[in-house]
Amino acid sequence: MVLQKMLDNGFNGYQMPPTPRAARSSRRRCIFQRKTDDHQLGAFDLLATVADKLVMEEGISPKPVDTITDGEQAKDKLLIVKSCDADVRDQSSLFTEQVSEAPLSNICSNEHTSLPNDACSWPASVMASECSRKFGSVEQLDDDECKLGLGIITKKCDVQSSGCRVSVGCILEGESEKQIKMDPKIYRNLSVSGKDDVCSLGCPETWDGKQSALVRSANSVKFPSCRGHMSCGSFPFNSEGVEIVTRDNDENSSRCTQPRNANKAIRRLPRSGDCRIRKSLASKHWKATPNLKGEGYNANKERCNFLNTKNSYKRQISQRDYPFKKRKLYYCSSASNSDVLVSSDGISSLPENDSKGAALLSVNATPTSGAGECSPFQSRNSHVKLNIKSFRVPELFIEIPETATVGSLKRSVMKAVTAILGGGLHVGMLLQGKKIRDDTRTLLQAGISHGNKSDALGFTLEPNPTQASPTLCPEDPFQHPRDSPQPLARSPPTANEVQDAVERGNLDALPDPLGSNIRNFPESNNDSAPSTPHMSLEKTPTGSRALVAVPEKREALAIVPMCKSKQSESAQRRMRRPFTVSEVEALVQAVEKLGTGRWRDVKLRAFDNVKHRTYVDLKDKWKTLVHTARISPQQRRGEPVPQELLDRVLTAHAYWSKQQTKYQLKPQRESCLV
DNA sequence: TTTAGGG
DNA sequence: CCCTAAA
């Protein structure tokens, strides 16, 4: 019946092939495509969802907000997210017409209507009220059924998020290092319990702390914006962070601890306070789309009344056959490359389901229904409630011309973040700041107990080295997803060249209008490392306007998902990065100074900023240099090293070998060439 | 962690 | 570059 209504209204939900327009306006990746199994959902999905929505938010606004909301505040906003192929700008129609008018029931149960999961964010109470009003009767609904998007996630990973915020930060030199941030956004499309007063902005204390750290690390980053382009190498966005704050407010939930067995989790979301929370939401996007604002606002306001109506329509719903399969079906046409699953190990390191993440809030004695072996809670027959406070995506490399607008940069960053989120990440776990590496330990064994301080536990999202990173073109303000029918026509052809060169490490092969000195110690643009002060910036060659995140392994895309976790476990072989002449020069110079047995010092002296050159690498390189110097030039391969350098290598090597011998004979003598 | 050396 | 024993 509901389905019929839906069809009557011409809404086909998942089955509706995207119209050209819809496809055109789809500018986000469908990050759920890779999902093949409900059980593999977790915090990752929450993040992905949030980021996804943020991107959509960017699309909603013709003019993305540039300013930072200073922690505040707070235009009424109801987050409505439509299906991924729908034009987000049409959401008003979806909302006001299809939702508010007749087809509201469609949304009430996307299980029946195949409505996209993220079509609406209304709590069940509202839906039920509306449906009841419109149609006289309504099925029993559980909030989760109506809360799409995050609601689904909530259900799946048992994270009841009352609010999520995503923000990206970077520093742009030349602007007083003023921070450019993605407009912090709060997504609170879930119904929120009335207790959630403190979280209307998503745990700002957590956010602020994190953010300042980000800023600090980013401060050292110099954008050579005065040189014709902004080249971030690896740095500017090393400090980029995505933080998502979620909060659990559901203390009545009873469900499985084991996600792999948690097909029958039942969840109710508190309703009270929903309106209030919503009204506190800020979105300048609404400003930019006044019509939406008005309608959305009023409609929302109107809906808030329904929150007060008693709603006892509850229906338990099985997770199993619900949103994600449809989602998957829906997204199947999307050529997202994120067909890689989150490392199951990584996910399993999360105290899933009942465990929300960071803060240990409470324990409920609900018996676990799962039969898995890796839940430490099961043996205790108790749950530990956790609260995911934040995640940080540690790595993002972007090249963007200085002529690009901040908005485009933001979009680029956001896109990249989304892509990263959409592409397999590790979930790391921190306890007291220390990483918990042993996934086999139980939480108790790891020292995670009910008595933990709320900030004792943390999680990290780590880029999967095997996951191809996104290549984005910030110049396209509305980047099309990879499956977009429209090619990135504006993407400059040089971008690929640049990236290829970067991948080959053959930066010298590219024009370097900025002088080669600066490339002496090229910063890795791929190794994940926080930006450090005083690091030199890799100047990217001309025409760099593509946002390039150099993939570690392109073939990663071809990896079968389940192999993925394993591969990500054992780190893949690092990308080959042949030493440039400049690097050799620096190495020789340092070794001449320091000798051959102090590779750490050599590293610190000459390659301190170059994250991808470890002292082992330097030692190895020296070894090969010595070897190279001893063989005939005809036997040498690769980029030729100037004979002068090789001579110095031999000289230094001979010298320090002698010194070493001396030292061994006369340990009291401090060998020092300086 | 760093060094040293084999693979 | 990787791996790892040894320090």
Residue A647: which domain range?
A: 581-665
Whether CB of A624 is under 7 Å from strand C: the answer is yes
Between CA A367 and C1' B1 the distance (Å) reads 45
Residue A528 has pLDDT above 50, yes or no: no
Between CA A218 and C1' B6 the distance (Å) reads 40
Phi and psi at residue A386, to the nearest 5°: -125, 160
Rounded to a whole number, what is the distance in angstroms from the first to the last CA of chain A? 87
Taking 3-state DSSP, the helix, strand and coil percentages for chain A, each rounded to the nearest 5, stand at 40, 10, 50
Cα A475 from Cα A490, distance rounded (Å): 7
Whether CB of A616 is under 7 Å from strand B: the answer is yes
Cα A492 from Cα A475, distance rounded (Å): 10
Q: Which of residues 583-612 of A touch strand B (CB under 7 A)?
A: 596-601
pTM: 0.28
Between CA A621 and C1' B3 the distance (Å) reads 15
Which uninterrupted H or E stretch holds A165? strand A164-166
Among A472, A493, A511, which residue terminates a domain? Answer: A472
Between CA A626 and C1' B5 the distance (Å) reads 14
Between CA A233 and C1' C7 the distance (Å) reads 37
- Please state the three-class secondary structure of A212-249 as a single string: HHHHHHHHCCCCCHHHCCEECCCCCCCCCCCCCCCCCC
What pLDDT, on a 0 to 100 scale, did the predictor assign at position A623?
93
Q: Which one of A94-108, A144-158, A349-363, A382-396 scores highest in mean pLDDT?
A: A382-396
Q: Which of residues 581-620 of A touch strand C (CB under 7 A)?
A: 612, 616-617, 620
What pLDDT, on a 0 to 100 scale, did the predictor assign at position A259?
29
* Residue A515 falls inside a structural domain: no
What pLDDT, on a 0 to 100 scale, did the predictor assign at position A621?
93
Residue A290 has pLDDT above 80, yes or no: no
* Residue A612 falls inside a structural domain: yes
Render pLDDT for A478-507 as a digit per residue (tens, 0 to 9).
Answer: 233 333 222 222 223 233 333 333 333 333
What pLDDT, on a 0 to 100 scale, did the predictor assign at position A156?
20
What pLDDT, on a 0 to 100 scale, did the predictor assign at position A607?
92
Q: Which one of A16-20, A407-411, A519-523 scores highest in mean pLDDT?
A: A407-411
Between CA A424 and C1' C4 the distance (Å) reads 30
Positive or negative, the CA dihedral A253, A437, A390, A183 is negative
Whether CB of A465 is under 7 Å from strand C: the answer is no
What pLDDT, on a 0 to 100 scale, did the predictor assign at position A613?
92
Whether CB of A573 is under 7 Å from strand C: the answer is yes
* Residue A522 falls inside a structural domain: no
Among A472, A499, A516, which residue terminates a domain? Answer: A472
Between CA A670 and C1' C6 the distance (Å) reads 23
Together in a domain, A468 and A585: no
Residue A517 has pLDDT above 50, yes or no: no
Whether CB of A534 is under 7 Å from strand C: the answer is no
Structure token digits, residue A137:
């009767």
* Band of residue A436 on the pLDDT scale cut at 50, 70, 90: low
Q: Are A583 and A520 in contact (CB under 8 A)?
A: yes
Which CATH number do you get for residue A596? Answer: 1.10.246.220
Whether CB of A619 is under 7 Å from strand B: the answer is yes
Between CA A615 and C1' B1 the distance (Å) reads 11
- Name the residue with the least CA to C1' distance from nucleotide B3: A597
Together in a domain, A280 and A423: yes
* Band of residue A450 on the pLDDT scale cut at 50, 70, 90: low
Between CA A571 and C1' C6 the distance (Å) reads 24
Between CA A15 and C1' B4 the distance (Å) reads 63
Between CA A623 and C1' B7 the distance (Å) reads 14
What pLDDT, on a 0 to 100 scale, did the predictor assign at position A446?
64
- Per-residue pLDDT averaged across A519-540, rounded? 33
Whether CB of A615 is under 7 Å from strand B: the answer is yes
Together in a domain, A165 and A285: yes
What pLDDT, on a 0 to 100 scale, did the predictor assign at position A575?
87
- Per-residue pLDDT averaged across A623-644, rounded? 90
Strands A399-400 and A230-231: antiparallel
- Name the residue with the least CA to C1' distance from nucleotide B6: A620
- Name the residue with the least CA to C1' distance from nucleotide B1: A600
Structure token digits, residue A216:
């600090």
Whether CB of A251 is under 7 Å from strand B: the answer is no
Greater confidence (A665 vs A140) lies with A665
- Per-residue pLDDT averaged across A452-466, rounded? 53
* Residue A552 falls inside a structural domain: no
Query: pLDDT > 90: what percent of chain A?
Result: 8
Between CA A624 and C1' B6 the distance (Å) reads 14
Render pLDDT for A293-337 as a digit per residue (tens, 0 to 9).
Answer: 232 323 333 232 322 322 322 222 222 222 222 222 122 222 222
- Per-residue pLDDT averaged across A368-389, rounded? 40
Could you give the angle at the alpha carbon of A335 between the alpha carbons of A325 and A565, nearest 5°? 70
What pLDDT, on a 0 to 100 scale, did the predictor assign at position A414?
66
* Residue A388 falls inside a structural domain: yes
Greater confidence (A126 vs A235) lies with A126
Between CA A641 and C1' B4 the distance (Å) reads 25
Between CA A655 and C1' B2 the distance (Å) reads 22
A288: closest CA among A472, A101, A479, A92? A92
Chain C positions with any atom < 7 A from a protein CB: 1-4
- Name the residue with the least CA to C1' distance from nucleotide B4: A597
Among A456, A472, A488, which residue terminates a domain? Answer: A472
What pLDDT, on a 0 to 100 scale, did the predictor assign at position A127?
36
Cα A239 from Cα A475, distance rounded (Å): 22
* Residue A335 falls inside a structural domain: yes
What pLDDT, on a 0 to 100 scale, did the predictor assign at position A572?
77
Write down the mean pLDDT value for chain A. 41
Cα A21 from Cα A5, distance rounded (Å): 24
* Band of residue A429 on the pLDDT scale cut at 50, 70, 90: low
What pLDDT, on a 0 to 100 scale, did the predictor assign at position A625?
92
* Band of residue A661 on the pLDDT scale cut at 50, 70, 90: confident
What pLDDT, on a 0 to 100 scale, did the predictor assign at position A416?
64
Q: How many domains does the structure of chain A reveal?
A: 2
Render pLDDT for A567-624 as a digit per residue (tens, 0 to 9).
Answer: 445 567 888 889 999 999 999 999 998 999 899 999 999 998 888 899 999 999 999 9
* Residue A484 falls inside a structural domain: no
Q: Closest nucleotide to residue A597 (Cα to C1')?
A: B3
Q: Closest nucleotide to residue A571 (Cα to C1')?
A: C2
* Residue A356 falls inside a structural domain: yes
Residue A641 has pLDDT above 80, yes or no: yes
Q: Closest nucleotide to residue A570 (Cα to C1')?
A: C2
What pLDDT, on a 0 to 100 scale, did the predictor assign at position A658?
81
Q: Closest nucleotide to residue A624 (Cα to C1')?
A: C1
